[in-house]
Structures are given as C-alpha cells and as structure tokens.
Structure 1
Amino acid sequence: MSLPSLTKKINNASPGSTANQTIFGVLLAISLVHLFNDSMQSVIPAIFPILKETMSLSYTQIGWIAFAINFTASIMQPVVGLFSDKRPTPALLPIGMGFTFTGMLLLAYASSYSAVLLAVVFVGLGSATFHPEGSKVSHMAAGNRRGLAQSIFQVGGNAGQSLAPLLTSLIFVPYGQFGAIGFTGVAAAGIIVQIFIARWYGRTIRSESFAKKHRNVGKIRPELKNRIAFAMIILISLVFVRSWYSSSIASYYSFNLIEGFGLSVGDAQIYIFLFLAAGALGTFFGGTLADRFGKRNLIFVSMAGSAPLALILPYANLFWSGVLLAVIGFVLISSFSVTVVYAQMLIPGKIGTVSGLITGLAFGLGGLGALIVGNWIDKIGISHVMQLCSFLPLLGVITFLLPSDRKLSEWTEGASEA
C-alpha cells in the first residue's frame, strides 16, 4: 500500500466507528510509523561494532550508549503516557518523530563519544514520545479486536528492529557512521504520516462515541489494588528477563560470532537479523494465539519454550546458531504485544500510562542489562557472558504467579461495575 493511499484511508476513517469496528487504515499507518521508529532506534546497537572500531570504545562504553538510549525511553515513556491520559495531545505524534530526526542527524556528524551519547538521547526521546501515543492510537482503532490491533501495531516495531542489522550491513558498513544521514529521510516520512494520524486522533477524541466509551471505563476496586500491584510486579519481572536476554543478543551476539567464527561485521549482522525478523513474525502470531489460548498461557509458553534453546545456543556451531536464533526469536518475542494487552487489562482506563510503563521498561531494563553485560564482557570475556545470559529465560516459570485470564476478566468486569 502506497503512502498516499494510506493517508487517504486515515482521512476517510470515521471517528465514531472506533466504538465497535477495527480501523485497519489507522492500524496499518501507526504500524508503519512504528517500523520507521524502531528501525532507527535499533540501528544504534546494530552499529556498535562500527563505533567500537572507529572510536576505539570498550565494551563498557558500548554498554553506556545502549543504556543512554534505552534508559531515556524508559523514564520518559510512562511520563508521556500519564500526561496523555490526563490531557490527550495528538501533536505529540509528529513532535516525537521530530526528536528522532534530530538524533539521526546528530549521529551522522558525531565526532566524539559524548556527541554519540547526545544523539542517542534524542532518538530515545523520540521513541519515548511515540510508543505510549502509538499504543493509544492502536487501542482507539481496535474496536472489539484489541489483541489483533496490538499485534498489528507491535509487528511494525519488531519488523523495524529486524531490519536494523541489514541496514547496518547495507549502509553503515560501506558508508560508516555518516550513513545515519539517510535515516533523516525515513524520519521525515514518519512525520508526514504522523500528521495525518494526529488529525484522526484529534477528530476521534472529540467524537461523541469516544466520550461515551471513555466515561464508561470503571475504576479499580480498593480490595483488588494489592493483588493487581503484585501481578504488575510479576509482569514487569518477566519483561525484565525477556528484555535483558533480547538486548544481550541484539547488542553483543554479533561480537560473539565475529570472535568465535571469524565472521565479518556484515555477515554477523545477518544472524542478528534472523533473531529479530523471527521475533517480528512471532509478535503477529502471538496476539492471535493469545486471544485463542489465553494471554497468561502464551506468555508462559514464550518463556518456557525458548529456555532450553537458549541454553543450547552458546555451544552451537555456525549453522545451528542461525537456526536457534530464529526459533528463539520467534518464540520469545511472541509475547511482547501480549504483555502490553495484559497490563492494559490489569489497569483499565490508563492506556497511555500502562503502555508507556511496559514498553518503557522493556527499553530501560534492556538498556540496564546491556550496560551490565558490557561490563561483564570486559572482565570475563564474551563467550562466558553469553553462557550466563542463556539461563535468563528459565525465570519465566514465575508466569504462573500471574492471575489466569479468567480471573483477570473477573477483575476487569468488577472494575467496570465499580
């Protein structure tokens, strides 16, 4: 679908239909921008081998770059979500992409380590602004198909992440760090699409059907607050484990392949692409399977199913490394959109805040994990650290501490009646 036809579909979308119909034009548009946003964010860890070589950086310094972009997104996402829940502001969508545009421009011309840190902070701010607002747009356009809508939205982001290693191989390997200048064009296209989405967003929040639906959202009953808080802590712990492991693969596994098998930077990135591309595919199917078999069950299977494969990965040969990375990516990341929807059901009526909290923590905790992993690699070597990280998915067993889907539905219905 071309960009003009997509923007036309957004303009023709009826705000009132969001109450019971799925607005696929809006979902495809916000998913496309998610692809733009996350592809630009993900080229940061993808170019770590290039930055390490050209600036003579240590693994710890690489970890600080990962921490800077992810921690910025982590802190600001729930803040943006909370502000938007209290005062919906459609203009935040193009403004956020403007931050990303600035970050990629600065990265192209960054001549020092501190300049790189500043550039990635701007990219992090753009991501922090986009994700809670993008998740809210997908929720508004979902109608009665929230799982599918969230999957469509998230698959765009995961697809963008998967493209980063290929973009690095095609752009940054031949052109170096200056290749980031090309992504300013991607950011500019994202700003244009965001303007059209923001107009639809504005029309929708002013519509009578949206106001009626918003008034009907209930509050959490006081006797449920402690149980919901405990469930949220467990969910956040699962996000932490998944993000830490995914970040260790996306940020450092290419170094392991280069060191262990003598691959070039470009060839090593292809294996990271397999992991992330399979994860994007898993995200799409994860939402659909969760609607059928249960959200908690899907979250458990994504963790438990990837755990034995993750334990084998550090000892696999080059061929099986590619196979295992693809399967692990598909299984592990399939629960990404499901955790967001699960959190939205735990705390109804706070879509922006909850989405910003969950996705923000995914970035922030992943960044914290990358910082710690980078420090470990400098001390004990990359192969030993990859072996340690392979145990992380085993912690997914705590999924069974979450309330079942049936219990969660009872809590949600109770909140609506309160």
Structure 2
Amino acid sequence: MTTTSTAAMLDAGSTASPLQQPQQQQKAKPAFGVLASISGAHMVNDMMQSLILAMYPILKGEFSLSFMQIGLITLTYQLTASLLQPLVGLFTDKKPLPYSLPFGMMSTLIGLVLLAFAPSFGMVLLAAAFVGVGSSIFHPESSRIARLASGGQHGLAQSVFQVGGNAGTAIGPLLAALVIVPFGQRSVAWFALAALVGIFVLTKVSRWYATHHLANAKRKAPAAVAAPYPRNVVIWAIAVLLVLIFSKYFYIAGLSSFYTFYVIEKFGLSVQSAQMHLFYFLFASAVGTVLGGPIGDRIGRKPVIWFSILGVAPFALMLPHANLFWTTALTILIGLVLSSAFSAILVYAQELMPGKVGMVSGMFFGFAFGMGGLGAAVLGVLADRTSIDFVYHAIAYLPLLGVAAILLPKKARKQAH
C-alpha cells in the first residue's frame, strides 16, 4: 500500500502539515491503494449499519414494534455516532490515533453479534449503540486519511471514500433479502466475517498512516494556513451547510427508514421485493456519490451543492403521487442526485477551516447521523399517529431548503484548496 508519491506527500512533517501545504499536496498523486482500502473498509462498516435498517420488517414482526420504536433504533445508533464523532475528530486533530480504526470496527462487530442474538427490544437498542460507537471512531479518522492520500484532489478522494460507504449501505438490503429474510435474525452473525476482514484492512491502513505520517510528527510544523474568509463569514457558511445537511438527512431518514413499509403498504409487495426496491435507491445513491466529488473539483463545490439538494425537489414532490413504476424511477433519481451533495459539502467545509479536518469531518458526519436519527424517530411517531403515506407527503418539501445554498460565499481563496 506504500507508494513513492504518498511518501513524498507526507514527508512534510507534523500531523497537520499535509493540510497546511496544499501546493506540495497538489503536486503529488493520489495514493489510490490507500483510498481503495479505506473505501473498502467504509463499505464493510456501512453495510453492517444498513443491515439494521434492512432488518426493520423482521424486527417489527419479531418484537411487535411500533413505528416509533423502529425510529428509536435508528435514533440510537445515529445519536451515539453523532455525539461522539465531533469529539473524536477534535481529539485526533491534536493527537492522531491511527490504530483506533480497527477498534472502531471491533465495536461494530460486537453490535452485529448482539443484534443476531438479541432476545428483546432493549438488546436491539444496545446492539445499535455499539454500531454507532464504531462509526463515531471510524468516520473522522478515515476521512482524515482520505484527505491525506488525496494528492490534492480532495473531492475525488472524499468521493472514493464515500462511495464505499454508500455501496455498503446499498448492499445491506440486498443481503437481507437473500440471507436474513429466508434464514432469520440469527443469520446476521455470519456477517461478522466481513467485520473481521474490515479489521484486517484497517490494521494495514493504520500501519500506513503511522509509518508515513506520525513517524515525521517530531519535525517542526510550518505556520498554519489562514482561513479563506473572516471568522463571521466562516461561521455563517458553516451554519448554511448544516441547514443543507438537515434537509438532506431528515429527508433521507424518512425515505430509507420507512421505504420498505411504504411499498409494502401502498403496493402490496412482499418483504423481499421491498428490500430489492430499497437496494435500487441505495445503489443509485452510491453511484451519485462517485460523481459529486470529482465534479466539485472541476466546477466548484457550490454548484454541486446547489444542484444536488434543490434539484431533487421536483422528484420528491412527485413521489407520493406515483405508481409503483414511477416510485422506483423517482427514488433512483433522488438517490442519484441527492447523494452527490455530501462529498462537496464536506470538502467545502474543510476548505473553510483548514487544518481542522478531523473536527470538521466529525462535526459534519456527526450532524448528518444525528439528523438521520432524529428524523427517523420524529417521523416514526408521525407515522404511528397518521400513516406512512402522510409522512411521504410531509417530507417531500424538505429538499426545497436547498435554496439556502445561495447564501454560501461565492468563491473561496485558492489556498483553501
């Protein structure tokens, strides 16, 4: 996994130096071996998360759960991740812990095994919490490594990293349809083998990070790069980005957490068929993620952010009125367009606050997870009191908040890239 270009890129010294020497980083080439490995580990991590999502129909029947309780499962693993990720990122900005990555995956593995043998709803929530803790450790450090291995192509690197996660999220329902639905809750334990592979891969990535980055940390760090805008402008821009994250992830929470129930209730599909339709949506999301980062590198982050969120609004508004064919088509389009936003948003935020990649990554991943969990819980209560169909009508207006992208600063200084 070691490359000459990667070594040159990381020769600069301190923990923050790759972020503080953009001109050097731009001359280097991306370390694609490292990016592929961290993306593969992201796929395993998020596949295990999505197994929880894909198991909702099974868990609902097994434990006679309400939609509110279904939402609480999502809230539990999203909330544990959202609260811890900014703290993990802030700490590792000051004291990187490369070998924390395998331990994060170990927590996710424990959650998966607990989920397989959970005898009660309370144990399901505990399993979800372990999965959330694993994600809180994994995402900030992995995002940092993706940036360090980017060779200056930050949008591309984040997209490669993100597409692994989205691919894993998409595979979860497919595996649930093929394995968990026919063989039951305990068959989830077989996926612990994938977690073991993830631990092995992350151990090698951690070794690369320690060898080519932390080994040079004793050298004197250069002066930090100044923020591209005054402090008040940066705070305003971060606030706008968080509004966009809210609209994106609150909407996705409603779409993904209750999609299987929606198509079962509205179109009379079987559980397996509903899982396949969820897979189509999530696979389209993975494809969209690949496009968002590189396009942002070429044309700028703001146009991508603007198009990916506000551009979904017409499809979202049509979705509750569509038949099965157009429901499938519209959700594919929604996944394809909406998912291109996050890589662009994350890199844009990192450019606003150079030298704080761990904190920024943790804050945005954490906020995204938190909004997803809160959305699932709130919309679960709403579904219990009204109907799933009403929920889909209500959330259709959320992408209109994408208009807030017009409030972002027009152009970042060159040095922020």
Number of residue pairs the alignment of both structures matches: 401
Amino acid at match of 2:381: N
2:248 corresponds to which residue? 242
Alignment of 1:105 onto 2:97: no
Residue 6 of structure 1 is matched in structure 2 by: none
Deviations 1:134-176 (A, max 9, x none): 1001011111211111110011001111111101101210122
Partners in 1 of 2:350 and 2:316 — Cα distance?
29
Match status 1:381 vs 2:387: yes
- Going from structure 1 to structure 2, the CA distance change for 1:369 and 1:211 (only over 3 Å counts) comes to farther
User: Does the Cα contact within 8 Å between 1:15 and 1:207 map onto a contact in 2?
Assistant: no
Deviations 1:80-136 (A, max 9, x none): 111110101111111100101111011111000100000010000001100001100
Match of 1:68 in 2: 76
After superposition, residues 224-243 of structure 1 pair within 5 angstroms as 224-243=230-249
Q: Is the 8 A contact 2:72 2:377 kept in 1?
A: yes
Q: Identify the structure with the greater helix proportion.
A: 1
For 1:277, the equivalent position in structure 2 comes to 283
* Correspondence for 1:394: 400
Q: 1:287 to 1:211 in 2, by over 3 A?
A: farther
What displacement does 1:240 show?
Answer: 0.9
Percent of matched pairs sharing the same residue:
45
Q: Equivalent residue for 1:175?
A: 183
Q: CA deviation at 1:360?
A: 1.3
Of the candidates 32, 38, 53, which is equivalent to residue 45 of structure 1?
53
Q: How do 1:347-362 and structure 2 match up within 5 A? A: 347-362=353-368
- Farther-moved stretch of structure 1 (296-305 vs 23-32): 296-305
Asked if 1 retains the 8 angstrom alpha-carbon contact of 2:30 and 2:149, the reply is yes
> 78, 89, 92: which is aligned to 2:86?
78
Query: Within 2, Cα distance between the matches of 1:381 and 1:175?
Result: 30
- In the alignment, structure 1 residue 36 sits paired with structure 2 residue 28: no
Question: Do the aligned partners of 2:6 and 2:149 also contact (CA within 8 Å) in 1?
Answer: no
Give the corresponding residue for 2:133.
125
Go from structure 1 to structure 2 and tell me whether the alpha carbon gap of 1:39 and 1:152 turns closer, same or farther (over 3 Å shift).
same
Quick check: 1:136–1:351 contact (8 Å CA) kept in 2?
yes
Q: CA deviation at 1:412?
A: 3.5
One-letter amino acid matched to 1:184: A
Q: Indicate yes or no: 2:311 matched with 1:305.
A: yes
2:373 alignment partner in structure 1:
367
Equivalent position amino acid for 2:255 in 1: I
TM-score (structure 2 length as normaliser): 0.93
Please tell me whether residue 217 in structure 1 is matched to residue 224 in structure 2. yes
1:323 counterpart residue number: 329
| 2:416 corresponds to which of 408, 412, 418 | 412
8 A contact 2:6–2:29 mirrored in 1: no
- Paired residue for 2:271? 265
Q: Which residue type is aligned with residue 277 of structure 1?
A: F
Q: Which residue of 1 aligns with 2:345?
A: 339
Question: What is the RMSD of the two structures over their aligned residues, measured on CA atoms?
Answer: 1.8
1:356-397 deviation digits (Å, cap 9, x = unpaired): 111111111110000000000000111011111111101110
- Tell me the amino acid that sits aligned with residue 165 of structure 2: G
**Contact 1:60-1:371 within 8 A present in 2 as well:** yes
Q: Which amino acid aligns with 1:400?
A: I
Counterpart for residue 139 of structure 1: 147
The answer as to whether partners of 1:10 and 1:197 remain within 8 angstroms in 2 is no
Question: In the superposition, relative to structure 1, how do residues 176 and 11 fare at CA in structure 2: closer, same or farther (>3 Å)?
Answer: farther
Q: Does the CA contact (< 8 Å) of 2:254 and 2:391 recur in 1?
A: no
Kept after mapping to 2: 8 A contact 1:10/1:196: no
Query: Runs in 1 of length 4+ with deviation above 4 angstroms?
Result: 10-14, 207-212
Cα contact 1:13–1:200 (8 A) shared by 2: no
Match for residue 8 of structure 2 among 16, 19, 36: 16
1:93 pairs, out of 85, 96, 101, with 101
Change (3 A) 1:94 1:358: same
Quote the offset at 1:61 in angstroms: 0.6
Counterparts in 2 of 1:226 and 1:348: CA distance versus 1, 3 Å: same
Tell me: CA distance 1:12–1:179, structure 2 relative to 1, closer, same or farther (3 Å): farther
Task: Note the alpha carbon deviations across 1:173-208, whole angstroms, 9 max, x for none.
Answer: 012211210121111100000110000010122354
Q: CA deviation at 1:321?
A: 0.8
Tell me what 1:416 maps to.
none
Q: 1:206 aligns with which of 209, 214, 217?
A: 214
One-letter amino acid matched to 2:297: D
Report what 2:33 is aligned to.
25
Cα–Cα, structure 1 residues 49 and 12, in superposed 2: closer, same or farther, change >3 Å?
farther
Whole-angstrom CA distance in 2 between matches of 1:11 and 1:171 = 39
